[in-house]
Structure 1
Amino acid sequence: MSTSLQPAVPIVAPTLTVVGSINLDITATASRLPSPGETVGGGVLRQQPGGKGANQAVAAARLAGSSRMVGAVGQDDAGLSLIGAMAGAGVDVQDIAQMEAATGTALVLVDAEGENQIVVCPGANGSLSLEGVSFADKEAVLCQLEVDQNVVLEAARRTKGFFVLNAAPAAPIIPELLERCDLVIVNETEYELIPALRDAPLVAVTYGGEGSAIFVDGERVAEAPAVRVSDIANTIGAGDAFCAALVLALQSGLEYGHALAAANAVGADAVRDSSSQPALKPLEHYIEASRAAIQPA
């Protein structure tokens, strides 16, 4: 049984709808990550909103002014807090169900360089359903693999507009799901772990400090360099911010190289923020700032 919480104030029509995970991140930051069986002292503990789906929805709202989140949380204080945080960022939360299961939780270890180790306890995310959810004809929908892949497949089947899969964490993809993707976004490790992506029609791959690229039917057709960052605070939300920015940039009509450059700039801003849902400027700022980084195919 589930219920939905209506937003306190009206929200304008969303630019992007995200279907996916919503987690409470419990983060311990220490000078370095422990080896197996080792204890590292002197850590700092904090709790903050997270989950790849929620991170992407919040990033989209901050970049474009609004977004919509389809997900599930528990009927607990953590769930209410996470819904409130998303609504406060400009996310339409009316399609977030409150389930009897506990809110999803991620246990995160972060070192002084921003590198991390994460254990995810899915909780209510495992009960996510698309019952009562509909998508407009031209709506862009972004999913990840932190929820049941059959739910993601159902979202793809229902999407009449632009369907995007952030294939993370890496896992074998149901063939029909891959066929229904208009765009797949992965990092270089995920690209290597999912061989089926070699033949996908459109794939964006991030390479950390080496930038990002787009492949069409396996051929590299566009790329953009990384934005150098010296003051890295947290890398957890950077990939999610990149995903939201790339989808929005492509939907706005940018060609591949410019869209990648803008998304790289957003990711660079994200790693400077200690939050998994970093503060971001409007997308137009990154589009203008990245013009000089555009490279030909």
Structure 2
Amino acid sequence: MIVVFGSINLDLVVPVARLPAPGETVSGGAYRMHPGGKGANQAVAAARAGARVAMIGAVGKDAFAAPALGGLQAAGVDCSGVAEVSAPTGLALIGVAADGENSIIVAPGANAVAKARDLPAGGILVTQNEIAAEAVAEAHTAAQRRLRVIHNAAPAREITADALAQIEILVMNESEAYATARQFDLSRATAEGAAKAIAAAHDVTTVVTLGAQGATAFEGGLVHRVSAPSIIPVDTTGAGDCFTGVLAAGLDAGLPLPDALRRAAVAGALACTAEGAQSAMPDAAAIDKLMR
């Protein structure tokens, strides 16, 4: 069982020829609405990969709530832990360039007041940084000795040594690895070096995603490196979330970390080959096919 405590958003996506520079306005194509939010994206990715998943979070009492929850419900995620609050449903404004790169602005809304409650006694808890740090810390404390904790350090923000001590696996992209190592004054010549230093200094398993180069995990004294399949990217919006969700699904299914890492890298690449975030998450059959 996987419990995801995190953000639920509605994404407004605009395709553009290129992302704007600071202070610049660019014209785009017709906008589209997609269910999103890092937490919801990871829940959908894990569910499509074959895991049993429950979502804990919050939405508003507005017109955006139903479409924001639509992807979770379609993927079979248990949404009974999603609260309806007075704050508006979270919203993300996303520009997607012709080369697949994106720029994202998030208005957290209801996510800022989300609270973790009724955590089960076993399984995996997945969290991220699109909800309040205090709420994440409370969830990690409640999960101690009851749930394995996977934390995705996205978007990057300050984290304490005490907070790291409550996490079993810390998932970061390259910039997040540099930022986390920097705040502890650790070696950061490369993203892998930063992740290795964090793992050694804080007795936590770290995973750093490296885009087209795959991912690397530092587990105790072990190093696990996996490559990513070569793809032509269409939209990279949900790739990191897909990686984290499928990693959790693999571990929940009993796979050792290297095998779960390989599935996550393949799934993350597949998520870049279609538009949107949740709509691009691959199912278990598609992951299996590409792995073969």
Q: Corresponding residue for 2:240? A: 239
Q: Structure 2: how far apart are the matches of 1:22 and 1:137?
A: 24
Q: Corresponding residue for 2:210? A: 207
Contact 1:24 1:105 (8 Å CA) reproduced: yes
- Work out which of the residue numbers 127, 130, 136 in structure 2 matches 1:152: 136
Q: 3-state SS of the aligned residue for 2:235? A: coil
Deviations 1:82-136 (A, max 9, x none): 2233212211111111111111111111100111111111111111122xx2222
Q: Structure 2 matches for 1:51-200, cutoff 5 A?
A: 51-64=37-50, 66-130=52-116, 133-159=117-143, 160-195=146-181, 196=184, 197-198=198-199, 199-200=201-202
Contact 1:62 1:279 (8 Å CA) reproduced: no
Q: Structure 2: how far apart are the matches of 1:114 and 1:248?
A: 26
Task: Answer yes or no: is 1:260 the counterpart of 2:244.
Answer: no
Identity %: 37
Shift of the alpha carbon at 1:260? 1.4
Change over 3 Å in CA distance of 1:107–1:249 after alignment to 2:
same
Deviations 1:230-284 (A, max 9, x none): 2x22111111010011112123232332221111110111111102103445436
Contact 1:134 1:158 (8 Å CA) reproduced: no
- Structure 2: state its 5+ residue gaps: 185-197
Task: Answer yes or no: is 1:41 the counterpart of 2:27.
Answer: yes
- Work out which of the residue numbers 226, 229, 234 in structure 1 matches 2:228: 226
Shift of the alpha carbon at 1:43? 2.5
Task: Give, as a single letter, the amino acid of the residue that structure 1 aligns with 2:8.
Answer: I
Contact 1:204 1:215 (8 Å CA) reproduced: yes
Contact 1:71 1:97 (8 Å CA) reproduced: yes
Task: Give, as a single letter, the amino acid of the residue that structure 2 aligns with 1:271.
Answer: C
Change over 3 Å in CA distance of 1:285–1:107 after alignment to 2:
closer
Contact 1:59 1:278 (8 Å CA) reproduced: no
Task: Give, as a single letter, the amino acid of the residue that structure 2 aligns with 1:226.
Answer: A
Task: Give, as a single letter, the amino acid of the residue that structure 2 aligns with 1:136.
Answer: P
- Structure 1: state its 5+ residue gaps: 1-14, 292-297
Task: Answer yes or no: is 1:275 the counterpart of 2:259.
Answer: no
Q: 3-state SS of the aligned residue for 1:203? A: strand
Shift of the alpha carbon at 1:152? 0.7
Shift of the alpha carbon at 1:80? 2.2
Shift of the alpha carbon at 1:220? 5.6
Change over 3 Å in CA distance of 1:188–1:42 after alignment to 2:
closer
Shift of the alpha carbon at 1:287? 5.2
Task: Give, as a single letter, the amino acid of the residue that structure 1 aligns with 2:228.
Answer: A
Contact 2:51 2:249 (8 Å CA) reproduced: no
How many residues are aligned here?
273
Shift of the alpha carbon at 1:170? 0.8
Task: Give, as a single letter, the amino acid of the residue that structure 2 aligns with 1:225.
Answer: S
Change over 3 Å in CA distance of 1:255–1:129 after alignment to 2:
closer
